[in-house]
Amino acid sequence: MKRVASDLNFIDLSGLLIFLIHSLLTVIGLLLLKTSVNLFEKFNFDNLTQLLNFKFALGLTFYLSAFVVSLIILNRYSLGVSVSIMMSLSIIMSVLFGYIFLNEKISIQIIVGLSLLLAGILTVYYGKN
């Protein structure tokens, strides 16, 4: 089994960039899927082809692309570091995208939680240096 490097090197920003790309692909894909699944409320097998529209296919493409990027990340970094940064960034971006595109509310508790996630990301990210 190939040994995966556990040191994060974000000095050249390539490491940070790949995590941001993963989170953007994930959140954009989920946003597109969320806005296209309202058709599933009226689901029956007769109108299955109506559910598979362009927005749904595009969302699925973004989400599957994020999966491929996550495989690249997992190949570069240790599992614990990779997952903790990928998931935390995705949570932060999903809250921001929900606020911007879906008019979802952000409470003070959410702001505190996002701040703690960001502090955790920075701790994991720079903790080895």
- Count the Cβ atoms, other than its own, within 10 Å of residue 29: 20
AA identity, residue 127: G
Does this model's pTM top 0.85? My answer is no
CA distances from 58 to 25, 55, 128 (A): 11, 5, 38
Instruction: Measure the CA angle with vertex 128, ends 112 and 67; round to 5°.
Output: 70
Backbone angles phi, psi at 104, to 5 degrees: -80, 150
Q: What percent of the chain has pLDDT over 70?
A: 77
Give me 71's structure tokens. Answer: 């495989």
Cα 108–chain centre separation: 22
Give me 121's structure tokens. Answer: 């990301």
pLDDT, one tens digit per residue, over 56-85 is 889 999 999 999 999 999 998 888 888 888
AA identity, residue 26: T
